[in-house]
Structure formats: structure tokens, C-alpha cells
Amino acid sequence: MANNEVKPTYRPEVFHVKNLEHAKSIILTPEDSTTDERWEKETPYLADEAFPYLGLGPDKVVLDYGCGVGRMAKVLIERSGCTVIGVDISQQMRELAPAYVEDDRFTICARPAFEAMISNGLRVDAAIAIWVLQHCPNVKSEIDIIKSALKPSAPLFVCNNLQAVIPTNLGWVDTGFEVKTLLADNFDEISRSRLSPKFVAPLVSATSFVGKYKNKSD
């Protein structure tokens, strides 16, 4: 008997954005709020959560994995004077980010360039991955890159959906992996909690988490 079931195919083209407004609408979908409201409320809230943990200052280099237009990178640089290396799969995000962050301490590259830097010895002092790992169908490979980029025992701050949300030809699909389990298997988990409903819509709070991790010591 013919099997007519259509299988979802990974379509990262959803991240091929036209301009900054389009990028923002993909980065923070409304989820019972609006993109603008989320941008205004959630950005300083996440920075407050991440900042004391990451131990940032002008001498620190931070990886922002899946940085988008640099929403979080911009705040971290403004607050601490750190240097941020953004990595993003989307060429359009990579083109928009420098103008959004507007700071010489920000630089951005694609994954192959970043992997070459790691192979040549680059190690960063801290990393963040905000609303990205849930979108990666082979997320273990992204986790491996973050791990190999971090110095031993260096901090990682993650904000993520509890469920996978993979962009496909059939829309956003939960392919069943749990980022929180993979993170706990690969890093030392320091804490994990829901996002505060004071700063995000109840729907976002109920379906996501923020986690603080440390890279394994050598």
C-alpha cells in the first residue's frame, strides 16, 4: 500500500529575512504579546538574568550563538564593554547585525568561519544561546561547537523552548528532542527555571526555560 504521508523537510529559509522589521518578527514571534513589547521587556530581563552569571567585563570575549541581529549582544556590550562574536546561520541576519549593534566590539560570522577559528585555538570566556537551539534539527552538533569554543569551566546561558520547534515545509514541527536534556548531558547544569511571567507572557513562561551551565573542566 502506498504511504502518502508527507514527511517534514528542514527549511531554514524562514530565517532569510528582508529587513530589520522582518528579522524582529521572526526573532520574537508575538506569542500572546507583540514582537515590539517582547523586544522591550524581554531583552533587559534576559540580560539581568544572564549578566551576573556570565562575569563579563572589557577583557572578556563572549560567543552569542544564533545571535540574529544582535539583540542580546548589544545589551551585553553596552553593560560591560565585553567583545561579542555572533554566529548565525542566516546571511541576512549576519548583514543586519553590525548596523543594529553599532559597536566595534561586535563581530559576526557564519559557522564554518567560527569552526576554523576554534580549530586554530580560539576559546571564549562565556557564551549565550537565546531562542536558537530549539530550531536546530541536529542540535548535538551546535552543542558541540559551543562546548569546543568555551574555555574549561566557562559559563553558558541558554534561553530555549522546552520542545523542539524546527522550521519545515509543513510549518514549525516538534521533532521530539529535548534541548534541556542534551544540555544537562553535555555541560554541568548550575540552574534551570521558567522565565518569569512578570516579564514574558504566561504562554512563553509555560513553554520555555532559562538555564545556567558551565563547560566541563578539562
Ligand X SMILES: C[S@@+](CC[C@H](N)C(=O)[O-])C[C@H]1O[C@@H](n2cnc3c(N)ncnc32)[C@H](O)[C@@H]1O
Enumerate binding residues for ligand X (CB under 6 A).
Answer: 15, 27, 66-68, 71-72, 87-90, 93, 111, 130-132, 135-136, 142
Whole-number minimum distance, CB 2 to ligand X, in Å? 34
DSSP 8-class letter at 197: T
CB closest to ligand X, residue no: 68
Whole-number minimum distance, CB 72 to ligand X, in Å? 6
Residue nearer to ligand X on the CB measure, 130 or 179: 130
Residue nearer to ligand X on the CB measure, 100 or 187: 100
Residue nearer to ligand X on the CB measure, 66 or 155: 66
Look up residue 172 and give its three cell numbers: 514549525
Q: Is 79 exposed, middle or buried (0-12, 13-18, 19+ CB in 10 A)?
A: middle
Residue nearer to ligand X on the CB measure, 53 or 131: 131
Residues 177-209 as b/e (b if ≥16 CB within 10 A, e otherwise) read bebbeebeebbebeeeeebeeebbbeebbebbb
State how far the Cα of 202 lies from the Cα of 180, in Å rounded to an integer.
Answer: 20
Residue nearer to ligand X on the CB measure, 3 or 19: 19
Whole-number minimum distance, CB 42 to ligand X, in Å? 8
Whole-number minimum distance, CB 28 to ligand X, in Å? 7
Please calculate the CA angle 72-75-81 and round it to the nearest 5 degrees: 120
Whole-number minimum distance, CB 25 to ligand X, in Å? 10
CA 180 to chain centre: 14
